[in-house]
Structure 1
Amino acid sequence: MADLGPLNPLPVVAAELDQPYTVGEGVPEDLQASARYGVVPNVYPYLMQDGYSRETAPRELPAVVLENSKIKVTVIPSLGGRIWELLDKATGKQLLHTHDAPQLANIALRKAWFAGGLEWNIGTRGHSPTSCDPLHSAIVHTPDGKHILRVWEFERLREVVFQVDIWLPADSPVVFAAVRIRNPNDHDVPMYWWSNAAIPETDRTRVIAPADEAYGSDYTTDITRVRPTAHEGYDGTWPVNSPHAADFFFDIDPSERRWVVAADDDGDGLAMLSTGLLRGKKLFVWGQGQGGKRWQEWLSPGAGPYAEIQAGLAQTQFEHLAMPAGAEWAWVEAYGNGHLDPATSHSTDWEAAVAHASERLEALLPHEDLEAMLPEAITNADVPPSKMLLRGSGWGVVERARRQKSGHGWVDESGTPFVDESLTGEQEPWLGLLQGKAFDGAPSFVMGADWEELLAGQDSPGAKFQLATMKHARQDLDGAKELYRQVLAAAEAVPGVKALAHRGLALALLAAAKDAEGLAELRRGVEADSSNTALLTEAVTLSIRHGDPAMALELAESAPTDGAAVGRLRFLKALALARTGNPGEAATILKAGVEVPDLREGEDAIAALWQEVCPDEPVPAAYQFGMH
């Protein structure tokens, strides 16, 4: 696996969060309303994780194994608490898509993500900000003798605490995961949760859920109501049939048990069951087009194709639900082999396949038994850890201190302690500010009215810069520009802070369509700190985007010759050459080979440039990343 690399030091302040879904005809108004609700402009205060390359090496990770006579479950707490393997011992099959060389790629909200296993996603639409972070992890022994693996964290975008309790009873054919989210705020919070399971995709894999219709998306058109079994001339419940990437959010009647199951040619495959609160069930496929195949090869080299089945709080992934002030939400999920009869599950009679799968899953785990587990799971959620395994971030400690100072409520930490040992240099300046110490900057960022009030009482350039980023992140561009200019006017401001202030001012100017002024500030930022490769890469990108490819070429002359950014900077140089009337030089770069480690999901810019500068030659397979 590649090393995650350093965090990107540039604060995420621009309004640029991808929202590919738009709602089309036939979608109910309440669903449209929840799609409009809770959308965020960015993932501030998180920093991006894009310091990785595609250079891999053997790497040792801590793992926790839960095992009984029927299944073996492997969890990786240091990478988002992901369930990495679920082995069915009777068949010897891995029910999750898994492999021995997970490849970091730009798929998550903070970029870094890897395919495979079963992941927990919270915050807003996309793969979680905690996808590649270590979570607080512990073994919990309950009074009745149950052994639980618990992972938890303070989620900074929505300012909530979440935890996942995973346990495997003796001789159980399914593993259980109880999720609890707590909103300690005195206001509603837009909430998003999806549990995503990657499953092996074979020519005979079928995905079944108790619904005739779904809300579908193909990543290029509006969300519409579709019939998965007769979609665009094919049966989309067979992933191998889909010509392009597609989502199917099954419209399950509220009176029905909510489940989704995959079945291979033997009828084996992952069953995803949950208590009632986890309403949504989904199938995602990459599709059989060249781009979909390329993405799977890019994400899972040599591991074969995969699809995903998923479960979420809302019916679709473009919605947020309003989580009331002080609320606690909890549910239980269960995962095991559905063991379907392939003759029926693979029948052309959809109703018969659904009825059969429903019967088999009821036999695997009766619905009443699963629902009866919820009260005990809620009680166990507060049982203190017996043995700590891993520390997550120190932001929970900082948040507790902030709330204590301001008199706001907080969660009971009995089951999810946030301890001082988790603090690092990222958090210590903020704790000092809460304690009344002078503040002159931090390598991290925070958000909220309390912090803005505290920083307003400080006069250092570092404090003004932090206050500027907070205003910028919530799109108070005028307030941000004024403070950035104050930082730049301060003689004592250090070069690194000045460079970031030039950059912040540039982004605010560009957002106001003042391209020339904005690009000039970007240039000054790069000159102020020539060692900041992330800033250089952004400046080259934005100078092309805003009509000055000559500036991009000039800046690219100082690009590093090694490191994670080299591939993208080579591509950007080729793009700038094409835009300055030098298609031949651009073609030479592309033909020599360009690999961009942080290529964004759905980004097809390399193929588009190839078609522009090499119009008589087919796009190489290695450059085809289009999802449609």
Structure 2
Amino acid sequence: MTTIRREVLTLPAAPLGTDNPLPPLRPLDEAHRIDDRDRAGLPRDMARQVDYAPLRSLLPVQVRDGYGRERRGRELDALVIENDRLRATVLPALGGRIASLHHKPTDRELLYANPVLQPANFALNGAWFSGGIEWNIGATGHTTLSCSPVHAARVPAPDGGEMLRLWEWERLRDLPFQVDLWLPDGSDFLYVGARIRNPHEHPAPTYWWSNIAVPEECRVLAPADEAWHFGYERRLRSVPVPEYDGVDRTYPPNSTYAADYFYEVPDDRRRWIAALDEHGHGLVQTSTDVLRGRKLFVWGTGPGGRRWQEWLTEPGTGGYCEIQAGLVRTQLEHVKLEAESEVSWLEAYGPLDATPDGDWHTVLRGAEDRLEAALPRADVDAAYGAWLPYADAEPGERLATGSGWGALEVLRTGWKLPGTPFDEDTLGAEQRPWLQLLRAGSLPEPEHHEPPGGTLVARPWRDMLETTAATPLAEYHLGVAQWHGDDRAQAVRSWERGLMGLRGSEGPAADRWPLLRCLAVADREGGHHERAADQYTQAFDDLCARRSHGGDGGEETGGDARWTAVAAALGREAVGALLAVGRTADARAVWERLDPATRARGRFRLLEGELLAAEGRTQEARALFDEGFEVADLREGDESIGLLWARLDDAPLPARHDFRMRPDGE
């Protein structure tokens, strides 16, 4: 019989550290943008969905950039769902990722199971890790829930057994979702029932891609003769499948540079994608037709792609590629989910044995015949029909707890969401100030000069902030919410009122740096770079004063880690703003006041190199490369290391620093 049990998975893992406490006010540094030259040639429905509600801000989510690259053995809570054929291992504290899918009769791992847990800057909000099957919801990119907990529980399955339900509240779009893992007795396929709800009285943009990591020594099959090719040069164009520029791109090692291939699956074809090794063994994913899109992502064989592969795992462990399935043809599109509606579908994952090599259409027919014999298309549709009545089944034994954000929204609205309860007992410290605002109409003042914490920016919360007492803290949060709503002039006025309210005040409310930093960002975004540099200098001065006589103070403690994170984040922004206007002496003054442990981090070693170069101390800047550093939170597509190197040396960029993911000159 199918069983669900708890287990502990031990992996070398880098800790996530402390989240960045500063609100992410600047525009997204997102690589997935289309060059305007390609827009006119897109199909009309694709162009409409590309332009529909692209994500412009991470708020209310905070950036997760406190991790490093020092890995130690760590025990991870896992949930295992298993029958006599398959064993799926799920990590509920890490977005509900399926870390392993093991086929027992053949003793084969069907996924790329990463032997380490190494966060890297690929999620929309930073920390992400590679391997397994992840559930990407929210907006173009890897979900903000990549390294966050989700709720998990047992629920009844259609065949009388049990399913494993995962659910959470997605904060970028304010939508609840669920993923039900169902493994019928004797089945070679793991069924996944997924549902996204829109309980609001207005339409909401939504997005979904199931992302499956598989070993890259394979051939990827999907029922298509053309694909939309997207690379880091930001061009989206139609290309033939399997050959493009004289090379068969369905073999991942044949691509030089990192790229996406979004397959154009005809409307009347079954939705499926498979990755088969040289012996014809591998994984197939199929679904009901709602999950329309299929994609292949390759890292490429160029030095940048290989370096990223090493960066995300350990050298010598083998590379991987990704096969994916989504609601639309490309990941640059978003779907309108009408008010008080939902979208749902069923996926199936299992082994496939078929001939991988040969004529494309012959290979596709053979693989599709094998898939139909193993799991008929009609059976997938029938399984979806059988699952749907159980999507509302109330969870039984709770196996993991996610965040309290869903509970806060349910308290605010009174929504009934059968099958995905967001219970009041999941509310925590992050929700506490907003619970007081909801119930008492006021925000509690922070204690001991604590950083102000995250801001809720949805319109109902902004309305509450506009009617609460106009304390400096309330003005700070109101300004953040107004900024998110593109009411930037009002945001600046709110922050300025907050500063005026602090004049002459003492005690916990007297911290000026959060408001000054917001005004600095506003000035920088508005092109007032000198004034932004002044605001950053004042903000950092105020922060240092608060830390020296207030706050947690003294030696570093667990609580003081927040202040270390604040100083690091604010100091990094301040140095960058000061360098942008040529004020190297002021930038050096900020640098010298950062904690030694902060200055030793790779990100700050790179910043030091930029500071030394600006001071004309190029030999010292060049020496940093010889000493070695690793920028743990280097962003996907970030070329800052190469740009600094080019200022210091005419030699080729050293391989350990080469993360370039596009052809030179593009």
Taking structure 1 as the reference length, the TM-score comes to: 0.95
Aligned mates of 2:283, 2:580 — CA distance in 1? 44
Aligned equivalent of 2:75:
60
Match of 2:572 among 530, 537, 540: 537
Match of 1:220 among 212, 226, 233: 233
Matches for 1:352-371 after TM superposition, within 5 Å: 352-371=362-381
Pair 1:154 & 2:141 matched? no
Comparing 308-317 with 366-375, which one deviates more in the overlay? 366-375
Matches for 1:314-463 after TM superposition, within 5 Å: 314-341=328-355, 345-347=356-358, 349-404=359-414, 410=415, 412-440=416-444, 443-457=453-467, 458-463=469-474
User: 8 Å contact 2:159–2:184 — kept in the other structure?
Assistant: no
User: 8 Å contact 2:27–2:57 — kept in the other structure?
Assistant: yes
Aligned equivalent of 1:470:
481
User: 8 Å contact 2:457–2:480 — kept in the other structure?
Assistant: no
Pair 1:14 & 2:49 matched? no
CA offsets per residue over residues 571-622 of structure 1, 9 Å max, x none?
011012223322211101121112111000111221222232021x332111
- How far off is 1:161 after superposition? 0.6
Aligned mates of 2:48, 2:238 — CA distance in 1? 16
SS of 1:509 mapped into structure 2: helix
Aligned mates of 1:448, 1:611 — CA distance in 2? 44
User: 8 Å contact 1:121–1:194 — kept in the other structure?
Assistant: yes
Aligned equivalent of 1:480:
491
- How far off is 1:19 after superposition? 4.5
- How far off is 1:51 after superposition? 1.0
Cα separation, partners in 2 of 1:496 and 1:238, compared to 1, 3 Å: farther
- The amino acid that maps onto 1:535 is L
- How far off is 1:414 after superposition? 3.1
CA offsets per residue over residues 426-481 of structure 1, 9 Å max, x none?
10111111112431455222112221221122221111110011111222221111
Comparing 448-457 with 138-147, which one deviates more in the overlay? 138-147
- The amino acid that maps onto 1:476 is D
Cα separation, partners in 2 of 1:545 and 1:117, compared to 1, 3 Å: farther
Question: CA RMSD of the aligned region, Å?
Answer: 1.7
Cα separation, partners in 2 of 1:496 and 1:340, compared to 1, 3 Å: farther
Match of 1:128 among 143, 164, 173: 143
Matches for 1:598-613 after TM superposition, within 5 Å: 598-613=633-648
- How far off is 1:565 after superposition? 7.5
Aligned mates of 2:247, 2:583 — CA distance in 1? 46
Aligned mates of 2:599, 2:432 — CA distance in 1? 29
Match of 2:253 among 237, 240, 253: 240
Aligned equivalent of 1:292:
305
Cα separation, partners in 2 of 1:542 and 1:121, compared to 1, 3 Å: farther
User: 8 Å contact 1:440–1:461 — kept in the other structure?
Assistant: no
Aligned equivalent of 1:79:
94
CA offsets per residue over residues 156-193 of structure 1, 9 Å max, x none?
11111100000111111110110000000111111110
Aligned equivalent of 1:272:
285
Aligned mates of 1:144, 1:258 — CA distance in 2? 24
User: 8 Å contact 1:168–1:174 — kept in the other structure?
Assistant: yes
Aligned mates of 2:524, 2:509 — CA distance in 1? 22
Comparing 472-481 with 168-177, which one deviates more in the overlay? 472-481
- How far off is 1:399 after superposition? 0.5
CA offsets per residue over residues 256-308 of structure 1, 9 Å max, x none?
00111001011111101011100000000000000000000000113210000
SS of 1:362 mapped into structure 2: helix
Cα separation, partners in 2 of 1:448 and 1:557, compared to 1, 3 Å: same
Matches for 1:40-55 after TM superposition, within 5 Å: 40-55=55-70
SS of 2:74 mapped into structure 1: coil
Cα separation, partners in 2 of 1:143 and 1:238, compared to 1, 3 Å: closer
Aligned equivalent of 1:407:
none
Match of 1:623 among 622, 639, 657: 657
Pair 1:576 & 2:611 matched? yes
Aligned mates of 1:354, 1:338 — CA distance in 2? 13
- How far off is 1:56 after superposition? 1.2
Aligned mates of 2:23, 2:599 — CA distance in 1? 19
SS of 2:242 mapped into structure 1: helix
SS of 1:87 mapped into structure 2: strand
Cα separation, partners in 2 of 1:545 and 1:172, compared to 1, 3 Å: farther
Matches for 1:487-498 after TM superposition, within 5 Å: 487-491=498-502, 492=505, 494=508, 497-498=511-512
Aligned equivalent of 2:190:
175
Aligned mates of 1:553, 1:312 — CA distance in 2? 48
SS of 2:166 mapped into structure 1: strand
Cα separation, partners in 2 of 1:17 and 1:602, compared to 1, 3 Å: closer
SS of 1:53 mapped into structure 2: coil
- The amino acid that maps onto 1:438 is S
- The amino acid that maps onto 2:395 is P
Aligned mates of 2:510, 2:118 — CA distance in 1? 32
- How far off is 1:144 after superposition? 4.8
SS of 2:440 mapped into structure 1: coil
Aligned mates of 2:159, 2:183 — CA distance in 1? 14
Comparing 390-399 with 474-483, which one deviates more in the overlay? 474-483
Pair 1:524 & 2:535 matched? no
Aligned mates of 1:222, 1:430 — CA distance in 2? 43
Which ranges in structure 1 are unaligned for 5 or more consecutive residues?
405-409
SS of 1:164 mapped into structure 2: strand
- The amino acid that maps onto 1:181 is I
Comparing 530-539 with 120-129, which one deviates more in the overlay? 530-539
SS of 1:64 mapped into structure 2: strand
Pair 1:3 & 2:15 matched? yes
Cα separation, partners in 2 of 1:250 and 1:541, compared to 1, 3 Å: same
User: 8 Å contact 1:465–1:497 — kept in the other structure?
Assistant: no
Aligned length: 615
Cα separation, partners in 2 of 1:545 and 1:235, compared to 1, 3 Å: farther
- How far off is 1:496 after superposition? 7.9
Aligned mates of 1:331, 1:540 — CA distance in 2? 48
Comparing 162-171 with 221-230, which one deviates more in the overlay? 221-230
Aligned mates of 1:565, 1:472 — CA distance in 2? 34
Cα separation, partners in 2 of 1:143 and 1:311, compared to 1, 3 Å: closer
Aligned mates of 1:223, 1:473 — CA distance in 2? 29
Aligned mates of 1:226, 1:366 — CA distance in 2? 30
Aligned mates of 2:628, 2:282 — CA distance in 1? 39
User: 8 Å contact 2:456–2:462 — kept in the other structure?
Assistant: no
Comparing 247-256 with 67-76, which one deviates more in the overlay? 67-76
Cα separation, partners in 2 of 1:71 and 1:565, compared to 1, 3 Å: farther
- How far off is 1:549 after superposition? 4.5
Aligned mates of 2:253, 2:287 — CA distance in 1? 26
User: 8 Å contact 2:89–2:101 — kept in the other structure?
Assistant: yes
Cα separation, partners in 2 of 1:64 and 1:554, compared to 1, 3 Å: same
Aligned mates of 1:67, 1:496 — CA distance in 2? 56
SS of 2:122 mapped into structure 1: strand
- How far off is 1:117 after superposition? 0.4
- How far off is 1:73 after superposition? 1.0
- How far off is 1:338 after superposition? 1.4
Aligned mates of 2:314, 2:280 — CA distance in 1? 26
Give % identity: 40
Cα separation, partners in 2 of 1:563 and 1:269, compared to 1, 3 Å: farther
Comparing 123-132 with 490-499, which one deviates more in the overlay? 490-499
Aligned equivalent of 2:622:
587
Comparing 244-253 with 543-552, which one deviates more in the overlay? 543-552
- How far off is 1:18 after superposition? 1.1
